[in-house]
Chains A and B, each alone.
Chain A
Amino acid sequence: MSINGKAYIAGAYEHPTRKAPDKSVAQLHAECAVGALADAGLRKDDVDGYFCAGDAPGMGPLSMVDYMNLRVKHVDSTDIGGSSYIMAVGHAAEAIAAGKCSVALITLSGRPRSEGVQTGTAARPGNPQIADSPWESHFAPVTTNVYGMVAKRHMHQFGTTSEQLAWIKVAASHHAQWNEHAMLRNVVTVQEVLDSPMVSDPLHRLDCCIISDGGGALVVVKPEIARQLKRPLVKIMGAAEAPKGQMGGDVDLSYCGAAWSGPAAFAEAGVKPADMKYASIYDSFTITVLMQLEDLGFCAKGEGGRFVMDGNLISGVGKLPFNTDGGGLCNNHPANRGGITKVIEAVRQLRGEAHPKVQVPNCDLAVATGIGGLLGSRHGAATVVLGRE
């Protein structure tokens, strides 16, 4: 069974806040749910499926289902980090295709900025119950250094340079200047990225995403409902997920799980990377984008550095417009999880509702892909292919 054409994204909402010291996490989830349902033209009581992940307070989906007082017949809180919400789009489509629900709500929210979380540099305490922790936690794999090792290896193996990685941030900043909600709206240069402080060699501060409060929500519906609504039809054509780890010690940092999730999602959709008019690519770090571009097949393995240079990711300039909202590098990275905003901007592009300065003309095919967890140790890749009907 394929999910191609079995479900549509009818509602998408990105919370405008980037700092919310006066709101609870549950409240942010609910505000996003309200926004996405209003966007779809649906009501609370239409929701019969609920999807969330590790940012949702409480046990799995239970607290949020209770907070919002939903009467649902299908729930899923599978957590693969920041890409969970891209995966949830696929899981919602599967549930709808199987007749388990008709209107699926996906929410994400968090307040790492207000709570002062040192997201990228704080060591996680050891936990003997977690299989890898007795072997790793004391070595302080934070976030930046685990991604840093991937970048270092890519540079060694393929000759990728810091200048090339910087182009990814430069492209994101060109898009963010038009987004009134973006946390960083200033356009930066390659040199400014290289001049920013080194956080974990070879990643500079401007190679890293921002830390923001906020959230987002999506509403996925069955085709009969989508056609009754007034919103443009955004069809889910293909979806796949792929966890990747250290493979028993056969560590290979030259590729990521997108090498598995990408081809599977494109195959289900019956399209090729070259057909994509727009790509939302999870940008926790510049290297995260580079790896996914290669592994999705937008360029050959090792060619990512040359692919992203000279504005090739800038809308209206390059061949592959990416993250036209400014992405996690400049706009928003709510709850330290950028998956949902990737899908939201892809929906905006397919509806023709992106900012006019970054809207891709006749955008009828798009991909949203993400890496959750830690790219260099254990991560979860998820990819969805979407089309305007």
Chain B
Amino acid sequence: MSERKITAPANNPESEPFYKAAEEGKFLIRRCTACKKAHWYPRAVCPFCFGETAWEEASGKGVIYSYSPMRRAGYTLAYVTLAEGPTMMTNIVDTDPDSLSIGQAVKLKFVPTDGGPPVPCFTAA
């Protein structure tokens, strides 16, 4: 299938550092400095304990939690569980959707967007 062109992400003061790092090829997540747990999507206030959080670079390794290919539209929406713990919404790219399965190992691939910073997609590991 021909792949969908990805639109530029919406961006706000909370997400800007992430996309700035993405332009340098770095994949950041946020972890709580109090309870030490990583979360997704990144936010300034820890969603588990309301503690303060800080950026860290993540491995970009994960497994597919679930996915749903829209073949006619040319893309696959997915949830990927990162090695660091949290599960994030993403697209699976450069992979035949018929070859995918839940639990399959995937790795990060930053994909360019239409006039914006690259966004974190995943492909078969």
Which residues of A are in contact with B by a Cβ distance under 8 Å? Answer: 121, 123, 125-142, 144-146, 148-153, 156, 198-203, 246-251, 253, 376-377
User: Bound complex: CA of A131 vs CA of B75, how far in Å?
Assistant: 24
B67 cross-chain contacts in A, Cβ below 8 A = 149, 152
Is there an interface contact between A249 and B90, defined as CB atoms closer than 8 Å? no
B87 cross-chain contacts in A, Cβ below 8 A = 246, 249-251
Is there an interface contact between B86 and A137, defined as CB atoms closer than 8 Å? no
Given contacts A136-B89, A146-B77, A251-B81, 18 further A-B contacts (CB under 8 A): A121-B73, A123-B7, A128-B11, A135-B88, A138-B116, A139-B6, A140-B91, A149-B67, A198-B71, A201-B69, A201-B70, A201-B97, A251-B79, A251-B87, A253-B65, A253-B66, A253-B79, A376-B79
Is there an interface contact between B102 and A248, defined as CB atoms closer than 8 Å? no
B81 cross-chain contacts in A, Cβ below 8 A = 251
User: Bound complex: CA of A128 vs CA of B11, how far in Å?
Assistant: 5
User: Bound complex: CA of A377 vs CA of B41, how far in Å?
Assistant: 12
Residues of chain B in range 73-125 having any CB-CB distance to chain A below 8 Å: 73, 75, 77-79, 81, 85-91, 97, 102-103, 113, 116, 119, 121
B10 contact from A121, A123, A128, A253, Cβ within 8 A: A128
Is there an interface contact between A134 and B15, defined as CB atoms closer than 8 Å? yes
Is there an interface contact between B86 and A249, defined as CB atoms closer than 8 Å? yes
User: Bound complex: CA of A136 vs CA of B73, how far in Å?
Assistant: 17
A144 cross-chain contacts in B, Cβ below 8 A = 68, 70
With A156-B66, A198-B71, A248-B40 in contact, do A139 and B77 touch (Cβ < 8 Å)?
yes
B91 contact from A125, A139, A142, A151, Cβ within 8 A: A139
In the A-B complex, list the 5 residue pairs whose CB atoms are closest, starting with the nearest.
A249-B86, A148-B68, A126-B10, A248-B47, A135-B41
User: Bound complex: CA of A40 vs CA of B5, how far in Å?
Assistant: 53
User: Bound complex: CA of A251 vs CA of B65, how far in Å?
Assistant: 9
B-side interface size class: 35 or more
Is there an interface contact between A126 and B7, defined as CB atoms closer than 8 Å? yes
User: Bound complex: CA of A52 vs CA of B90, how far in Å?
Assistant: 34
Task: Give 14 A-B contacts (CB < 8 Å), ordered by A residue.
Answer: A121-B70, A126-B7, A134-B12, A134-B15, A137-B10, A146-B68, A198-B71, A201-B69, A201-B97, A202-B68, A246-B87, A247-B47, A248-B86, A250-B87
Residue of B nearest to A135 (CB): B41
User: Bound complex: CA of A149 vs CA of B65, how far in Å?
Assistant: 9
Is there an interface contact between B41 and A132, defined as CB atoms closer than 8 Å? yes
Q: Is B24 an interface residue (CB 8 A)?
A: no
Is there an interface contact between B12 and A152, defined as CB atoms closer than 8 Å? no
With A129-B12, A134-B9, A138-B6 in contact, do A152 and B66 touch (Cβ < 8 Å)?
yes
User: Bound complex: CA of A247 vs CA of B72, how far in Å?
Assistant: 31
User: Bound complex: CA of A303 vs CA of B108, how far in Å?
Assistant: 35
Residue of A nearest to B116 (CB): A138
User: Bound complex: CA of A239 vs CA of B99, how far in Å?
Assistant: 44
User: Bound complex: CA of A132 vs CA of B15, how far in Å?
Assistant: 10
Is there an interface contact between A201 and B68, defined as CB atoms closer than 8 Å? yes
User: Bound complex: CA of A137 vs CA of B77, how far in Å?
Assistant: 11
Is there an interface contact between A153 and B40, defined as CB atoms closer than 8 Å? no
User: Bound complex: CA of A366 vs CA of B114, how far in Å?
Assistant: 51
User: Bound complex: CA of A144 vs CA of B85, how far in Å?
Assistant: 26
Is there an interface contact between A201 and B71, defined as CB atoms closer than 8 Å? yes
With A139-B90, A249-B38, A249-B40 in contact, do A149 and B79 touch (Cβ < 8 Å)?
yes
B87 CB to nearest chain A CB (Å): 4
With A139-B77, A139-B91, A249-B88 in contact, do A149 and B15 touch (Cβ < 8 Å)?
no
Is there an interface contact between B75 and A150, defined as CB atoms closer than 8 Å? no
A290 CB to nearest chain B CB (Å): 15
